[in-house]
Amino acid sequence: MMQTLLESKTMQAALEYLKEDDARTLKEHLELVAIPAPSNHEELRAKDMLRRFTELGLEDVHMDEVGNVLGTVKGKLGSPVVMLAGHLDTVFPASVDLTPKIIDGIVHAPGITDDTRALAELLTIVRAIKETGITPIGDLVFCANVGEEGLGDLRGVKHIFGKKNNIDAFISIDNPKIGAVVNKGIGSYRYRFNFIARGGHSFSDFGQPSAIHALGIAIAKIAQFKVPQFPKTTYNVGVVEGGTSVNTIAAKASFLLDIRSDSQEELKRFSSLAIEAAQEAVEEENRLRPHEDKAKVIVEQIGDRPSGTQPDDCLIVNIASAAIMAMGLKAEVRPSSSTDANVPISLGIPAITVGCGGRSGGSHTEQEWFDPKDAYKGPQKNLLMVMAMVGMDGVQEAMMPKFKS
């Protein structure tokens, strides 16, 4: 079936269009990466994508309540409904210089691939559909979503799937390897542990409990946790803050804890262990420095990314792999990761994360780079993939069925 779709005149014209549109796609790519879009502050880039979606003639173009930008290519029958997404946000604060620099054909800019490349691919795919007259059978929804990175906590996709919708399959373009297919989501819980004490002068108030001392005891306890090899589970204290001066007993201190696992049960278990360790740490500090003003800890959950899994041979993976191989590329079902696809996967909705075109490196660093050579092969593969799922009028029926909740 994939070969029939691939060899159709309309699809061949669309694939050729994507190749010819490569320079324009790169131009848009460079324009987009220069627009600041830190997690939870994606407004400027979102407005730019809203304008571009509107100019391309997508239907139902709008920005939703949390800042996701959506537009639809309506199909002949309107079913199934497949969403193709790329996230707007990057890990970089607005203060970072995002100006792209091209050196020996390589583009250097923070966020140039993750996930700005996906946004550029959405735009060229829409153009290819419009310019070559492709008529889908089902609806194809294009989405530039907020909040994938860090403390964005998948808020954009959580919002989409947290309310009633008719989405039958979800694809996120968010992997640097063109042939990648990710069908499992690593779950994560993130916490801020706030330690509070009265504090005071290091000499005259000596004996008062210290928020930093309690924090240190807690981290030492957490660092000794043993994790299972399977399901893979990890933890990390990534940020520590607190104190006023070298001669001040700390009144406030905090740390951020990230716990990840393929298993929701392990997330809950290690969360309980960490909270218990923090409570024990406060009790130890209060015993060491008995005083009527006790140290205490307040635990705040700041992140909750659901885990989920699908078989390696499930339908959506098979369709994606077939499209990749039909384009002469190597399909590779990758290990689980944490992406926007976590949310629909956790709900049982068919969902994957796939790769973009080009080569890249240095993700999540200011040294991130992108090699645009043959980058058009990414949108070519992704167009073939989504059209196989929604079907093409007069060529092939939809391969993706309606999702039954």
Q: What is the pLDDT of residue 335?
A: 86
Question: How far apart, in Å, are the Cα atoms of 29 and each of 101, 123, 147, 159, 361?
Answer: 12, 10, 20, 26, 16
Q: What is the pLDDT of residue 404?
A: 83
What's the rounded Cα separation, in Å, for the pair 86 and 93?
19
User: What angle is formed at CA 42 by the lines to CA 40 and CA 46, rounded to 5 degrees?
Assistant: 145
What's the rounded Cα separation, in Å, for the pair 345 and 352?
8
Residue 283's pLDDT band, with cuts at 50, 70 and 90, is very high
User: Which candidate, 139, 97, 149, places its Cα nearest to that of 118?
Assistant: 149
DSSP letter (8 states) at residue 268: H
* pLDDT above 90: residue 83: yes
* pLDDT above 90: residue 242: yes
Tell the residue number behind the tokens 């989920």, with chain if given.
308
Supply the pTM of this predicted model. 0.93
Answer left, alpha or beta for residue 123, where phi above 0 means left and psi between -120 and 50 means alpha.
alpha
* Residue limits of CATH 3.30.70.360 in the chain: 187-305
Determine the average pLDDT of the residues in 29-58.
99
* pLDDT above 90: residue 267: yes
Please give the helix or strand (H or E) that residue 130 lies within, else none.
helix 116-132
Residue 67's pLDDT band, with cuts at 50, 70 and 90, is very high
3-state DSSP assignment of residue 114: coil
Determine the average pLDDT of the residues in 124-140.
99
What's the rounded Cα separation, in Å, for the pair 6 and 310?
27
Q: 358-372 burial string, b = 16+ CB within 10 Å, else e?
A: bbbeebeeeebbbeb
Q: What is the pLDDT of residue 69?
A: 99
CA gyration radius, the chain: 24
Superfamily of domain 2-185+308-390: Zn peptidases (3.40.630.10)
What's the rounded Cα separation, in Å, for the pair 16 and 122?
16
Q: What is the pLDDT of residue 405?
A: 72
Determine the average pLDDT of the residues in 274-282.
99
Answer left, alpha or beta for residue 301, where phi above 0 means left and psi between -120 and 50 means alpha.
beta
Q: What is the pLDDT of residue 233?
A: 96
Residue 1's pLDDT band, with cuts at 50, 70 and 90, is confident
Beta bridge partners of 354: 173, 181
Q: What is the pLDDT of residue 170?
A: 99
* pLDDT above 80: residue 143: yes
Q: What is the pLDDT of residue 349?
A: 98
Q: Please say whether the dihedral angle defined by the alpha carbons of residues 360, 331, 334 and 124, taken in this order, is positive or negative.
A: positive
Average pLDDT, the chain: 97
DSSP letter (8 states) at residue 375: T
pLDDT digits (tens, 9 = 90+) for 173-213: 999 999 999 999 999 999 999 999 999 999 999 999 999 99
pLDDT digits (tens, 9 = 90+) for 363-393: 999 999 999 999 999 999 999 999 999 999 9
Which fold would CATH assign to domain 187-305?
Answer: Alpha-Beta Plaits (3.30.70)
Residue 138's pLDDT band, with cuts at 50, 70 and 90, is very high
What are 232's two structure tokens?
A: 């893979």
Residue 259's pLDDT band, with cuts at 50, 70 and 90, is very high
* Residue limits of CATH 3.40.630.10 in the chain: 2-185+308-390
